[in-house]
Amino acid sequence: MINQTTYTINTTAGMVELTIKPINSLLPDGDFFATGIYELTDGTVGMGEIVFDENMNEWTYNGMDELNWDEASEVAAFIKNYKDPAGADPDLLQSSK
């Protein structure tokens, strides 16, 4: 995932439109490195992070019960299977850390 995207999920608290923002690091050679960290927000409310291992197989969720395990699993599956739209430009990253 190059740029942030949104995902609507039906949670136990109702429908939530999550913004999923990948955290990418800028390397000294100017390339971006995907860290495997994805910040989740609902508007201005932080919903924690989903952090993948280097192979995008295992993940953890560090939210404070904003999402239960099944909901976090659904979001993690969305992230893992997400394909950037054609022409996605890494130079247009919303932010990098």
Radius of gyration of the chain (CA): 13
Which pTM does this prediction carry? 0.83
Assess if residue 88 is contained within a domain: no
pLDDT in tens, 26-80: 888 888 888 999 999 999 999 999 999 998 999 999 998 889 999 999 999 999 9
* Measured distance CA(45)–CA(47) in Å, rounded: 6
Alpha helices in the chain (DSSP H): 69-81
Supply φ then ψ for residue 91, to 5 degrees: -75, -10
Assess if residue 97 is contained within a domain: no
Assess if residue 92 is contained within a domain: no
Query: Using CA atoms in the order 76, 60, 16, 89, what is the torsion angle rounded to 10 degrees?
Result: -50
Asked if the model's pLDDT at residue 97 lies above 70, the reply is no
Assess if residue 16 is contained within a domain: yes
Strand ranges of the sheet holding 45-52, from the earlier edge strand across to the other edge = 5-11, 14-26, 32-42, 45-52, 59-61
Assess if residue 11 is contained within a domain: yes
- How many structural domains compose the chain? 1
- Which residue range forms the structural domain that includes residue 34? 5-83
